[in-house]
């Protein structure tokens, strides 16, 4: 079984070929970051138009890299949401039409389910059940994962996602989009000069809130000199606060559900300090932490192809020719395999 995965929910046009027997055969990605940097964030209309431009050339490259023929595909998995609606629609229409032409199944995948399963592509991967901490540009979620499709939402961000706190703080200090990698880079030169309060850690439960942190960054920036050392010191404090907050909430969730394993996924899980803080902090408490490969922390199509393979094998695919694209879609509405 070989599945073509297509991901277009935000600003990355990504395609991957996943074989059940051999794993990932090839993957290609066209980043639009340079175009969105001009505006300090993703412009939905530009994202959708660029996916349209990039999809066919990227597909041609993918097939060439893998020396693979379209006629050998078993199915096509695509991100059906949640995400920027226009961007999702381009990928969904492309995937559904191609599957129709090849007379093979199309499988609409939930983007967050893709992230949540991304560590399964690694040779050392978790077994079920596990707790998933999903930290991306649009979501911060703690989910109890019993099996594929059996998701219990434990907590989520009540306002900004962790990635948004990185992106908005970076923008404020004049750094490029996406802000996360920029903040991580600057924080390496940072000193422990500022300290921000950790949002919501003294309240019970598993919810997050990161918009107050952005305000703390804004106030500190406004009252400081605008040197590169100040940028480094604020970046350091921001990264520390987010790392600690994620660790505290993840440990609390593991304790509450009696879990043993945590998977840390989504764009923010590419951050080395956050990875180390969670794996060290949770190892001390007897838990094991799993991550995707770095290139699968941020948006990618391998995770979509993998989720598609699992769902197709269970007989779950788009049974009609309606094209599904959703801006909002709750993870808990998914059905088990
Ligand atoms: O999962 P993702 O690629 O897209 C969404 O589904 O949102 O996550 C993108 C987010 C952005 O907010 C970006 O700034 C953040 O992940 N990010 C990082 C790092 N790399 C990407 N945040 C912190 N440190 C990083 N190294
Ligand atoms: Zn994502």
Distance of alpha carbon 336 from alpha carbon 125, whole angstroms: 20
Among 93, 148, 26, 30, CA closest to 318: 93
- Whether residue 33 is predicted with pLDDT greater than 90 in this model: the reply is no
Q: What pLDDT does 200 receive?
A: 87
Categorise residue 101: left if φ over 0, alpha if ψ from -120 to 50, beta otherwise: alpha
Atom of ligand 1 nearest to the CA of 136: 8
Question: With a 6 A CB cut-off, is 119 part of the ligand 1 pocket?
Answer: no
How much is the pTM? 0.98
Among 63-77, 193-207, 248-262, the range scoring the smallest mean pLDDT is: 193-207
72 φ/ψ angles, rounded to the nearest 5 degrees: -90, 0
Proximal ligand: closest to the CA of 267? 1
* pLDDT band at residue 335 using 50, 70 and 90 as cut-offs: very high
User: How far is the centre of ligand 1, averaged over its atoms, from the C-alpha of 69 (Å)?
Assistant: 33
Angle between helices 228-257 and 272-284 (to 10 degrees): 40
Q: Which comes out higher in pLDDT, residue 324 or 228?
A: 228
Atom of ligand 1 nearest to the CA of 270: 26
Query: How high does pLDDT run on average in the chain?
Result: 97
Question: With a 6 A CB cut-off, is 268 part of the ligand 1 pocket?
Answer: yes
Question: With a 6 A CB cut-off, is 83 part of the ligand 1 pocket?
Answer: no
User: How far is the centre of ligand 2, averaged over its atoms, from the C-alpha of 203 (Å)?
Assistant: 28
Burial letters 13-26, b for 16+ CB under 10 A, else e? bbbbbbbeeeebbb
Tokens of residue 144, six digits: 């109890």
Span 111-134, average pLDDT: 98
Q: Are 120 and 306 in contact (CB under 8 A)?
A: yes
Proximal ligand: closest to the CA of 265? 1
Atom of ligand 1 nearest to the CA of 272: 26
Proximal ligand: closest to the CA of 266? 1
Query: Measuring from atom 7 of ligand 1, which residue has the nearest CA?
Result: 137
Cβ-in-10-Å burial (0-12, 13-18, 19+) of 97 comes to middle
Span 40-69, average pLDDT: 97
- Whether residue 201 is predicted with pLDDT greater than 90 in this model: the reply is no
User: How far is the centre of ligand 2, averaged over its atoms, from the C-alpha of 239 (Å)?
Assistant: 20
- Whether residue 51 is predicted with pLDDT greater than 90 in this model: the reply is yes
Tens-place pLDDT, residues 257-315: 999 999 999 999 999 999 999 999 999 999 999 999 999 999 999 999 999 999 999 99
Question: With a 6 A CB cut-off, is 108 part of the ligand 1 pocket?
Answer: no
Distance of alpha carbon 217 from alpha carbon 263, whole angstroms: 28
**Substitution site in 8, 91, 110, 137 for ligand 1 pocket (most atoms within 8 Å of beta carbon):** 137
Tens-place pLDDT, residues 210-251: 999 999 999 999 999 999 999 999 999 999 999 999 999 999
User: How far is the centre of ligand 2, averaged over its atoms, from the C-alpha of 138 (Å)?
Assistant: 7
């Amino acid at each position: 079984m070989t599945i073509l995965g297509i991901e277009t929910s935000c600003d990355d046009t990504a395609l991957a070929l996943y074989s059940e027997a051999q794993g990932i055969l090839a993957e290609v990605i066209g980043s639009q970051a340079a175009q969105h940097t001009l505006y300090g964030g993703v412009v939905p209309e530009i994202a959708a138009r660029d996916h349209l431009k990039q999809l066919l050339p990227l597909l041609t490259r993918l097939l060439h890299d893998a020396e693979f023929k379209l006629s050998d595909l078993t199915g096509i998995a695509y991100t059906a949401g949640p995400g920027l609606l226009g961007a999702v629609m381009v990928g969904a229409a492309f995937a559904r039409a191609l599957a129709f032409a090849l007379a093979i199944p199309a499988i609409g995948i939930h983007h967050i389910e893709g992230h949540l399963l991304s560590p399964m592509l690694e040779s050392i991967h978790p077994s079920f059940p596990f707790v998933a901490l999903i930290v991306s540009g649009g979501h911060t979620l703690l989910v109890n994962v019993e099996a594929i499709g059996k998701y219990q939402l434990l907590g989520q961000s009540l306002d900004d996602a962790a990635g948004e706190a990185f992106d908005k703080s970076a923008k404020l200090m004049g750094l490029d989009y996406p802000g996360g990698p920029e903040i991580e880079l600057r924080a390496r030169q940072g000193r422990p000069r500022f300290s921000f309060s950790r949002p919501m850690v003294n309240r019970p439960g598993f919810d997050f809130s990161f918009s107050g942190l952005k305000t703390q960054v804004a106030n500190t920036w406004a009252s400081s000199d605008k040197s590169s050392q100040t940028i480094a010191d604020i970046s350091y404090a921001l990264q520390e606060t987010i790392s600690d907050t994620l660790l505290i909430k993840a440990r609390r969730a593991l304790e509450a559900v009696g879990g043993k394993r945590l998977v840390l996924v989504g764009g923010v899980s590419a951050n080395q300090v956050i990875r180390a803080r969670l794996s060290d902090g949770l190892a001390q408490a007897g838990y094991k932490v799993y991550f995707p490969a770095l290139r699968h922390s941020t948006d990618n199509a391998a995770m979509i192809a993998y989720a598609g393979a699992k769902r197709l094998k269970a007989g779950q695919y788009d049974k009609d020719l309606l094209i599904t694209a959703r801006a909002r879609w709750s993870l808990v509405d998914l059905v088990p395999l």
